[in-house]
Structures are given as C-alpha cells and as structure tokens.
C-alpha cells in the first residue's frame, strides 16, 4: 500500500488535512518550549512531517494499515528516535498520564472522540498545552466566555486551569475527503495541572438543563436555603441562567455550597 491508494475509513474519523497553509499555521502556533510533542492520529503523516522537523514526537494511531505505512514512510525518523509510533487505540493506552514526561498535544483529532480526548488531556498532569483541530462548534464551546450562548461546562473546566482561543477556522475544502462541517484549530495553554473532580461534578449539575435557571438545576443536588444564601452573597439573581455566570463565580459558589 502507498499513500495514494489509501481509502479513508469513516469509522476512524479519517479526514486528511491537505492544505499546506493550515499545516504551517499549526506549526507557527505551537508554544515555544522544550516539551515533547504527542500527536494523536498521524494518519498519512502530513502533519507529522512538519512536527518531526521541529521536535521529537510520540504518535498514537489506531488504524493498523496506516501504522504500517507510517513505519515505512518515517523509517529514518523512527531509527533516529525522532519519532515513536504506538499502534492502537489512544484511549486504551491512556492511564492517568499518556506518557511519563511533560508534553504538548498537537493534532488534527478524530472528531468522533475529540471532546473526550481534550478532557483527558486537560486532566493529564503531564500535558501542558493542547493545539488541536476539531469541529468548529466544539472549539467554540471550549473557548466561549460567560454570557455567550455556547458557554458551558467545557468552557468553565478549561478556563479554570488554562486560557483558550481559536487560532484559525478551516473550511471543508482543506481536507480529503472533505467533512460536512467547518473546523477550527484552537490552542489551550494550561496554567494549572487539573480541576478538582467535585468541582466538575457541580458543573455537570449546573449545566444539565442549560435553558433552566441555575438555581433550579442546582437545587436537584444542593439544599435550596444554602443556595439562596450563596446566590445573595455573590450577587447572582435567582433567575440567572447557567451560561451567564462567570468561571470565577462558579468557583466561589463551589466554595460556599460544598
Ligand atoms: N493527522 C492526520 C491529518 O491531519 O491528515 C489525520 C487526521 S484524521 C482527522 C484522524 C486520525 O486519527 C486518523 O488517522 C485515525 O485513524 C486516527 N484515530 C481515530 N481514532 C483513533 C484512536 N482511538 N486512537 C488513535 N488514533 C485514532
């Protein structure tokens, strides 16, 4: 098999990034540091080719056909230890840390598990920065600020330990085969290791029914009189909706009601 005879497999979310200008933008946006690079889903190796020029790379690819192809394409880089390829499902390989040294995740992610991968990377203390291509809608959720309609638990989880912004929006024509939706590359720069799990539990309850009031959602789990005092102290009106409360106020609320 060679690169040109590969047929993209839908079940693995294979949309190969062909636009060289976008590949260069990803490289330019990489944080400057000594961390190793982890690439999830190197695919045909188009992004990998740029990455190994800059740093050493630990890659995870589930598709055994692509794994074999990558092993022959990158024989020299593998021999010189510039690249190491793990063949298999990254989610199965992922214990509390994916590798045992500080790393930045740089990848064009398989969209069907992109949110799950980003949440795992956020909780992984060895992961320091995340620069990934995902569905535009998903990138917007991670980067939203309080008050925006799409501001939700993903935004609060991210912004509690990092700052996040969209680097570039990418149209379907940049890929082969083109996906049906727009994509975006976004960057998360972590400034703390991970969130408290109980805090994430509060967020799940807070955003369970996004159109209802925050008070209504939280009273399923927490005592109403405790909530009323906390809301009053934080100047939150009883009718406020979950997306209208800032990350900082969620932390204050957590301190007062847990
Ligand atoms: N990086 C390549 C590019 O930019 O052209 C390919 C990106 S493609 C959107 C996603 C890649 O992730 C595919 O190569 C796919 O086989 C791989 N993949 C899908 N699920 C995976 C998993 N669970 N573990 C590791 N790799 C996975």
pLDDT tens readout for residues 75-133: 999 999 999 999 999 999 999 899 999 999 999 999 999 999 999 999 999 999 999 99
Share of the chain above pLDDT 90, in %: 95
Pocket test for ligand 1, best of 62, 121, 174, 179 (most atoms within 8 A of CB): 62
Q: Residue 23's pLDDT is what?
A: 98
**Do 125 and 231 share a structural domain?**
no
**Do 34 and 115 share a structural domain?**
yes
CA of 15 to the centre of ligand 1 (A): 8
Any ligand 1 atom below 6 A from CB of 60: yes
User: In the predicted model, is pLDDT for residue 44 greater than 90?
Assistant: yes
Of the residues 190, 207, 228, the one at which a domain ends: 190
Domain of residue 84 covers 3-190
Q: Which structure tokens are listed for 148?
A: 């925006």
**Do 202 and 175 share a structural domain?**
no
**Do 148 and 208 share a structural domain?**
no
List b or e across 68-96, with b for residues whose CB sees 16 or more CB atoms inside 10 angstroms. ebbeebbeebbeeeebebbbeebeeebee
First to last CA, the chain: 57
Q: Which position has the token pair 């993209």?
A: 8
Q: Which position has the token pair 């976004």?
A: 186
Q: Residue 258's pLDDT is what?
A: 86
**Do 180 and 227 share a structural domain?**
no
Q: Which structure tokens are listed for 176?
A: 């082969």
**Do 10 and 96 share a structural domain?**
yes
Total residues belonging to the chain? 258
Give this prediction's pTM: 0.96
CB 99 within 8 A of CB 58: yes
Q: Residue 108's pLDDT is what?
A: 98
User: In the predicted model, is pLDDT for residue 4 greater than 80?
Assistant: no
**Do 207 and 123 share a structural domain?**
no
CA of 147 to the centre of ligand 1 (A): 34
Q: Residue 60's pLDDT is what?
A: 98
Residues 6+ away with beta carbon under 8 Å from 225: none
17 CA closest ligand 1 atom index: 5
Q: What is the mean pLDDT of residues 177-197?
A: 95
Give the Å distances, CA to CA, from 92 to 48, 95, 98.
22, 8, 10
CB 174 within 8 A of CB 22: yes
Cα angle 81-91-88, degrees, rounded to a multiple of 5: 50
Any ligand 1 atom below 6 A from CB of 12: yes
User: In the predicted model, is pLDDT for residue 24 greater than 90?
Assistant: yes
Q: Which structure tokens are listed for 257?
A: 């009601």
Of the residues 190, 212, 232, the one at which a domain ends: 190
CB 130 within 8 A of CB 121: yes
Q: Residue 1's pLDDT is what?
A: 73
Phi-psi region of 45 (alpha: psi -120 to 50; beta: other; left: phi over 0): left
How many domains does the chain divide into?
Answer: 2
**Residue of 76, 47, 89, 63 lying closest to 1 (CA atoms):** 63
Q: What is the CATH number of the domain that holds 213?
A: 1.10.8.100
**Do 130 and 97 share a structural domain?**
yes
Pick the residue whose CA is nearest to atom 23 on ligand 1: 89
CA of 13 to the centre of ligand 1 (A): 7
Q: Residue 2's pLDDT is what?
A: 77
Q: What is the CATH number of the domain that holds 56?
A: 3.40.50.150
Any ligand 1 atom below 6 A from CB of 17: yes
């Amino acid at each position: 098999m060679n690169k040109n005879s590969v047929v993209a497999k839908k079940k693995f979310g294979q949309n190969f990034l062909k636009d060289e200008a976008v590949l260069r933008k990803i490289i330019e946006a990489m944080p400057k540091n000594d961390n190793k690079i982890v690439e999830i889903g190197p695919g045909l190796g188009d992004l990998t080719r740029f990455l190994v020029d800059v740093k050493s790379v630990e890659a995870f690819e589930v598709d055994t056909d692509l794994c074999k192809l990558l092993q022959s394409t990158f024989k020299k880089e593998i021999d010189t230890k510039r690249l190491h390829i793990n063949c298999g499902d990254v989610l199965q390989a992922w214990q509390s840390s994916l590798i045992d040294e500080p790393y930045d995740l740089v990848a064009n992610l398989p969209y069907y598990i992109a949110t799950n991968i980003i949440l795992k990377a956020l909780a992984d203390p060895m992961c320091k920065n995340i620069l990934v291509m995902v569905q535009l809608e998903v990138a917007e959720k991670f980067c939203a600020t309080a008050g925006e309609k799409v501001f939700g638990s993903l935004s609060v989880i991210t912004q509690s330990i990092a700052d996040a912004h969209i680097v570039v929006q990418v149209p379907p024509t940049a890929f082969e085969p083109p996906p049906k939706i727009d994509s975006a590359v976004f960057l998360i720069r972590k400034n703390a290791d991970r969130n408290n799990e109980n805090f994430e539990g509060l967020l799940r309850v807070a955003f369970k029914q996004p159109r209802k009031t925050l008070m209504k959602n939280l009273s399923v789990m927490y005592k109403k009189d405790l909530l009323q005092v906390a809301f009053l102290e934080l100047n939150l009106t009883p009718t406020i909706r979950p997306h209208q409360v800032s990350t900082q106020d969620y932390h204050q609320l957590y301190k007062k009601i847990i």
